[in-house]
Amino acid sequence: MLIKSISVNNFKACQQLVFEPGRFNVIIGSNGSGKSSLLEAIGVISAAMTDRVNNTTLVDRGIRLSTNSLYQSNFKNGRRAPTINFELVWKDNSFNIDEVYTYKVSLNAPNKDNAWRYNTEVLLKGNEKMYGQSGASNMDKNQYVSGLMLKNDPNIQQIKLSLMKLNRYGIFQPNTPTLRGTSSDPYQTEPIGLGGGRLAEALNDILVAGNGEMFGSLYIDDVLELIGWAKEFKITTPKKTNINASVSAARRVIEFSDKYMKSEKKFTAYDASEGALYVLLLLSLAAHERTPAIFAVDNFDHAMNPRLAKVTTRMFSKMILETDKTVFLTTHNPLVLDGLDIQNDDIRLFTMDRLKDGQVKLRRIQVDKTLIDENQPLSRLWVNGRLGGVPELL
């Protein structure tokens, strides 16, 4: 599935938003500008077109559960729209790269229950309508489940296979206790939880597949060099020689050897720097064959110093493109931008700003002669306000 465009109308701060993503998408903006809401909007589209929209399918995708009235845009100077609308346009590169499909859905946010109702749902192949339903004309059908998924039509079956790539979409929001293995992950997705759970098991899969020498398309030495202090790491069981017996640990843990310490002194993720764990998580999301084909990472730069974030971005984006995945990232770290090959059209940078009426505006940043003549890194251009996506502070 090659996503061509995404449209969001009347969802939270995204009252009217359209953008054309690439394979590797970085979204910057000030706090509260709507970046996380955009990631969540993609999650609602995922649930709507492959299953249904309710609290369970939203939580499974890492979406914050709001009160029913907060899902819909409700600005002071605007009329409250009756429905929340989404549109996804994509090319199905599993079969015919030249065939364009469009999915449109209009949803009613839940009232007393937690289930969203389908108002209208349409699938187009080019300009040809392949499927369509409306709540008014199909009162005898279940209005709380995607009719597209229930449709038993041979012409739609192959499209459903493509849509399953979007079905596994999730917003990864790793946290340090979960990565250390001392806290359970509330989002138990496979092979890695949205909070970073089961990282040790996923790393073990990658190490076995690479015979201990390769980490996806990277050499293990490249990964170790990125961490800096690590001589090696492996997956083992917790024992009193590598973790305190009073610490609650998972059955499988990451064990490190520090090149500055004696070789027999080993320790687990519990004692490792959190930056190293975030690096391993991100590279695992790109390298593991069973991670989602389309996913998001909120606050991508969390726990990494600026220079580490820059180099990790460069490696991570390269691996994502090599594995034909699609990712959406948010960040507040300017150095992340310097790790982007922004002249590669598969890698796209967007700024998100709040307008005076509260609505959000999304704009793609492209390298043109004006920016090149600035002769400054993207990080400095962002901090200096040349790209947008920064708050107006004194």
Examine residue 285 and state whether it is found in any structural domain, yes or no: no
Asked whether residue 110 is assigned to any structural domain, the reply reads yes
Q: How confident is the model at residue 83, as a pLDDT?
A: 92
Strand partners, 24: 327, 347
List, in order, residues 6 or more apart from 196 with CB less than 8 Å away.
172, 174, 175, 178, 179, 185, 277, 281
Same structural domain, 134 and 211 = no
Domain end (from 274, 302, 337) = 274
User: What is residue 231's three-state secondary structure?
Assistant: strand
Is residue 283, in this structure, part of any structural domain at all?
no
| Average pLDDT per 10 consecutive residues for the chain, totaling 394 residues | 94 91 94 91 96 94 89 76 92 74 93 86 93 68 85 84 90 93 86 94 96 93 93 90 79 91 87 93 96 95 87 96 96 90 93 84 82 77 74 52
Ramachandran angles phi, psi of 234, nearest 5°: -150, 170
- According to the model, what pLDDT value does residue 139 have? 45
54, 146: one domain? yes
The answer as to whether 99 is a domain residue is: yes
Provide the CATH number for the domain around residue 339. Answer: 3.40.50.300
In a domain, 47, yes or no: yes
Asked if 11 and 113 sit in the same domain, the reply is yes
Domain holding 122, by residue range, is: 2-170+292-383
Residues 295 and 284: their CA atoms lie apart, in Å, by 13
Digit-coded pLDDT (tens) for 244-288: 877 877 788 999 999 999 887 889 999 999 999 999 999 999 999
Which pLDDT does position 110 carry in this prediction?
84
Residues 51 and 85 in one domain: yes
- For residue 6, list its beta bridge partners: 19, 88
Give a yes or no: residue 371 inside a domain.
yes
Q: Is residue 393 part of a domain?
A: no
Report pLDDT for 30: 84
Rounded Cα distance between 123 and 116, Å, is 19
Is 47 found in the same domain as 123? yes
Tens-place pLDDT, residues 43-66: 999 999 999 999 999 999 999 998
Which has the closest alpha carbon to 84: 68, 106, 63, 102?
106
Domain count of the chain?
2
